[in-house]
Amino acid sequence: MRIIDLLSKKSVELNLHASTKLESIDKMVDLVNNSGNLNDQEEYKKAIIAREEMSTTGIGEGVAIPHAKTKAVNNACLAAGVSKNGVDYESFDGSLSHLFFMIAAPEGANDTHLEVLSRLSTILMDEDFRNNLINASSIDEFISLIDKKEAEKFPEEEVEEVIVVDSKYPKVLAVTACPTGIAHTFMAAESLAKMGEKKGVSIKVETNGSSGAKNVLTKEEIDNATCIIVAADKKVEMARFDGKKVIITKVANGIHKAEELIERAEKGDAPIYSHTGGGAGEESSNEDETSLRKVYKHLMNGVSHMLPFVVSGGILIALAFLFDDYAINPANFGSNTPLAAFLKGIGDYAFGFMLPILAGYIAYSIGDRPALVVGFVGGVLAKEGGAGFLGALLAGFIAGYIVLGLKRLFTNLPQSLDGIKPVLLFPLFGTLLIGIVMTFIVMPPVVFLNNAMVNFLATLGGSSKILLGLVLGGMMAVDMGGPINKAAYVFGVASLDAGQYEIMAAVMAGGMVPPLAIALCTTFFKNRFTREQRDSGKVNYVMGLSFITEGAIPFAAGDPLHVIPACVLGSATAGALSMLFNAALRAPHGGIFVVPVVSNPIMYLVAIIIGSLVGMIALAALKKPLDKEA
């Protein structure tokens, strides 16, 4: 346990004003409390005074090291103070105390406080070192002096890079997760980590991204954390947080309300989370979650699991058309050559999972693991019965709530039957009920509506078609990854299943423009942006080309009245031009990397470039030059 592992900048005072021993104790207790590691400041102060009554902790040579081990302390920590004038702390040698180090240790913390006390006593024997501490010009210098001296006195100890400054474990933990696991997940993590650093709060953030959980929280870290922030729009593993203070909110708040969340977590301003005993991915109620947002979360859970099937299958099918020979047999285009037939066969299999996966994971989000099979069956019924995307979507929600109903219905069964509920009763009755509901209630009107929509889209042409592209492209830039953006995107994916590939092309073009327009503007109109914004703008080239609209969010959040209208104008232009040029795309993602499989790829790129330039010019016109280049 190194000294600076316990010493927070917020708990250091280089101009301690106190004239008596009791007054200095009050000041030092306040500094300890600044670290956020006390659950009862008065109780801790009483423990300090009780220790002083046993014998003074003024060790002489101008140093006092008051300390206490009590249940009023959550995590071991340290405070430091410098009194230029000195305080009569009843030291053994009668000297005035100029250096104060107050140690706080929780009950059951072994002998942490004694170890720190021993180390402090050792390094403070050096008079030159003490004088350097007293004359330190900044808190950073003060801590650096201690760090160097400790390393000098204990050379046998391997000194690791210090990441946590408040204690051995991070004070605040966080988990971020968004439906796609691409942008919002990591933006929220970055925002929380930066705010923690700014506030002097040690924090560790676990990201539940598209490639799995990274920087996973350990049991020891969870046990020692003051509070956990769960900023997620999909299920994350919650059982591990049972009995801890947990703030549960949406991932967008992790980006836009990081300061508020960090302040609440530091104070422990959160309810105790009680796990209800569901599956590993069970979620608790989001404290600011509306019924509409819950529906959105369930939908996005299905979409996020569906996307890999659609992307891989769609790209393979698109490649089959790219490598095929239309002249061989126009009626069999896509499967004329052996390579094309192979690619299309594999792609069709992968793409065919789209609707069952969508329905299955919507149901899973609602009713947990027992609802998965019921949702899958509902999705297959929608696919085979011609109900399409809309039918599968309804099947997922219906299946989830059917299983919730069955759980309540079977609550009073004997406990001896608990083991067969998830493997027999829920799947059996759930599958039977979803079959009845889908076949006789849902599918007839949905099939009719689905066919009507396909026929309507097929008849669109000229100005109507361009108008649709303009609206969808603009929607992609309104909230950049939010519900409006996702509504346009889901419509594009649904149109793939209906064979309307131009819609997906317009949607992706609209989604690529906001980051690209901002990147171009930060490059060619530098005087509108700070140095930090210009540096961030470079990353948006990659984000835009990769069809990650969320790259524009930091700029939109900082200046929504100027950034959002400019991006909407650029995206709408790109979507309309994509439709005008009859660009078609069978893959729902991929950005610049799938342009080779777009029909009319050159003009599709032209649409994206023009849309980005329009967005850039509009943003430059709306934003005024800064008074002084930052």
> How far apart (Å, rounded) are the C-alpha atoms in residues 138 and 388?
66
* 86 φψ region: left (φ > 0), alpha (ψ -120 to 50), beta (else): left
Residue 390: its H or E element? helix 388-409
Residue 104: its H or E element? strand 97-106
* 481 φψ region: left (φ > 0), alpha (ψ -120 to 50), beta (else): left
> How far apart (Å, rounded) are the C-alpha atoms in residues 557 and 480?
10
Q: Which CA distances in Å does 172 have to 187, 193, 228, 262, 267?
A: 18, 10, 6, 8, 10
Beta bridge partners of 101: 80
> How far apart (Å, rounded) are the C-alpha atoms in residues 479 and 553?
8
User: If we measure between CA atoms, which residue out of 108, 111, 34 comes closest to residue 67?
Assistant: 111
Q: Which CA distances in Å does 383 have to 31, 313, 354, 557?
A: 64, 16, 9, 40
Cβ proximity of 185 and 207 under 8 Å: yes
* 75 φψ region: left (φ > 0), alpha (ψ -120 to 50), beta (else): beta
Six-digit token string for 413: 């069964």
Number of C-beta neighbours around residue 219 at 10 A: 8
- Active-site residue list: 67, 178
Q: Which CA distances in Å does 216 have to 69, 170, 171, 219, 274?
A: 31, 13, 15, 10, 21
> How far apart (Å, rounded) are the C-alpha atoms in residues 135 and 118?
23
> How far apart (Å, rounded) are the C-alpha atoms in residues 577 and 615?
14
> How far apart (Å, rounded) are the C-alpha atoms in residues 482 and 465?
25
Number of C-beta neighbours around residue 609 at 10 A: 15
> How far apart (Å, rounded) are the C-alpha atoms in residues 381 and 482?
30
